[in-house]
Amino acid sequence: MSVINQAFQVPYSFNIVFTQNLFSSDNKEFVNFLTNFGDTTFQKKILFLIDEGVEQKHPYLIESIKRYFQSENQISLIDEILVLPGGELVKNAPQYLEKTLLAINECGIDRHSFVAAIGGGAFLDMVGYASCIAHRGVKHIRIPTTVLSQNDSGVGVKNGVNFLGKKNFLGTFSPPVAVFNDSNFLTTLSDRDWRSGISEAVKVALIKDLDFFEWLEENGSAMADRELLVMNEQIFRSAALHTNHISSGDPFEMGSARPLDFGHWAAHKLEYLSNFEIRHGEAVAIGIALDSIYSELLGLISGEDSARIISLLKKLGFTLYHESLAENDKLNLWEGLNEFREHLGGRLTITILEKLGKGKEVHEVNFDLMKLAVDRLKLTLD
């Protein structure tokens, strides 16, 4: 028998830039990045795609982008800026993926050019996936516009679309070449979208950083009152924890552990059971509360600890129960656990709490206790 052993490493590096008014004429962060990236003598193209909800709330955005590039010689802006729906619709309906791929093809976007997506997390997921499969990968830039995408999903390495009724069934691990977090986009968010992303900060604080969890407790009311400076600090600290974990652990999830998915196994199922009426971050808040109560029932954290978690989530404005959790004697929820196991590759690994600020991986779930946790969660409505 003859064997050739091949091994190589591919380094990844990208910046997450925190700024304001990204396409203002006096803000050169974006154009400087494009000009200096890669071969500086190459005539680079850039194609923009914008989340429809963002375009409606920022009607000046397309014109601002065109003015921004008017005097640039090294960067060729594709004239047509594609506007597509955001939210889970853009990941569920295959025609939007096809439209994105057609635009990449028709505009001649090659592997030296860029696709820039402006929108929420679901929108970035779809555009990122299209960018990764076109030409086996064209460079994509993320410009997240929601709290959730600025502090979590938009700063990570995942891209994907939904298929066969399963969330992110099709997807890739491929980092963007840059992320630009513009706080100006946050000012027009609805209260639901403003609140929704904070659940991801609560999640990462609970499993990684007690000091950050206590900071969230102290500043929960300020965030609920839409204080932008406080929200910006939350986003920066949350993004730092998420990216530090990705770079220090298993960035392409070759193993079974998903510590950053604390609270997510139930959240993913809830989104489908509610026909996506529940925002992802809202579902994550419910999932966090459920798994925190379950951790208490296992004797890992105290009742006082779980009460602090529930109190913070309620202070932020989350409703922590949905009737679909209990439907069919909670068997729908059990199905979600099995789907999460399948997504992981056959072995169940979920994160619960060993203590505030530290997660613990387990490979089985006592579903009788989980059902009791659902009943306990319903009491938070009182």
Please, which residues bridge with residue 159 across strands? 172
- At 256 the pLDDT is 43
Determine the Cα–Cα distance for residues 15 and 197; give it in Å rounded to an integer: 21
Burial of 215 (0-12, 13-18, 19+ CB in 10 A): middle
Mean pLDDT of each 10-residue bin along the chain, 382 residues long: 88 91 94 88 91 96 95 88 94 96 95 94 96 94 96 89 87 94 96 95 95 98 96 96 76 56 86 86 95 96 96 96 84 74 68 93 88 91 78
Contact residues for 262 (Cβ-Cβ < 8 A; gap 6+): 203, 206, 207, 287, 288, 291, 350, 351, 352, 353, 359
What are 238-265's pLDDT values in tens digits? 999 988 877 766 666 655 445 568 888 8
Whether residue 5 lies inside any domain: the answer is no
Instruction: Examine the fold and report which residue of 146, 170, 188 is the final residue of a domain before the chain moves on.
Output: 188
Angle between the N-to-C axes of helices 367-378 and 331-344, in degrees from 0 to 180, rounded to the nearest 10: 120
Same domain? 251 vs 171 = no
Over the range 74-105, which residues count as b (16 or more CB within 10 Å of their CB) and which as e? ebbbbeebbbbbbbbbbbbbeebbebbeebbe
- At 72 the pLDDT is 82
Q: How many residues does the chain have?
A: 382
Contacts by 156-159 with C-beta closer than 8 Å and gap 24+?
Answer: 156/242, 156/243, 156/246, 157/12, 157/246, 157/251, 157/252, 158/125, 158/128, 159/124, 159/125, 159/126, 159/128, 159/129, 159/131, 159/132
Residue 313 structure tokens: 């989530």
What is the maximal distance between C-alpha atoms in the chain?
69
- At 185 the pLDDT is 97
Instruction: Examine the fold and report which residue of 188, 203, 232 is the final residue of a domain before the chain moves on.
Output: 188
3-state secondary structure of 159: strand
The single-letter code of the amino acid at 41 is: T
Same domain? 237 vs 361 = yes
Same domain? 211 vs 170 = no
Residue 323's closest CA among 366, 370, 381, 265? 381
Same domain? 116 vs 254 = no
Same domain? 233 vs 213 = yes
CATH number at residue 69: 3.40.50.1970
Instruction: Examine the fold and report which residue of 172, 188, 204 is the final residue of a domain before the chain moves on.
Output: 188
Same domain? 112 vs 200 = no
Whether residue 129 lies inside any domain: the answer is yes
- At 340 the pLDDT is 67
Per the CB < 8 A criterion, the answer to whether 256 and 344 are in contact is yes
Same domain? 41 vs 108 = yes
Whether residue 269 lies inside any domain: the answer is yes
Same domain? 203 vs 216 = yes
Same domain? 26 vs 174 = yes
Whether residue 184 lies inside any domain: the answer is yes
Determine the Cα–Cα distance for residues 103 and 101; give it in Å rounded to an integer: 5
Whether residue 4 lies inside any domain: the answer is no
Q: In which domain, by residue range, is 251 found?
A: 191-381
Whether residue 285 lies inside any domain: the answer is yes
CATH number at residue 333: 1.20.1090.10
Same domain? 90 vs 156 = yes
Residue 115 structure tokens: 């696709």
- At 117 the pLDDT is 98
Whether residue 294 lies inside any domain: the answer is yes
Per the CB < 8 A criterion, the answer to whether 183 and 20 are in contact is yes
Same domain? 143 vs 216 = no
User: What distance, in Å, lies between the first and last C-alpha atoms of the chain?
Assistant: 69
User: What is the rounded average pLDDT for all residues in the chain?
Assistant: 90
Instruction: Measure CA 121 to chain center.
Output: 5
Over the range 138-154, which residues count as b (16 or more CB within 10 Å of their CB) and which as e? bbbbbbbbbbbbbbbbb
Structural element, H or E, at residue 312: helix 303-315
For the chain, how many structural domains are there in total?
2
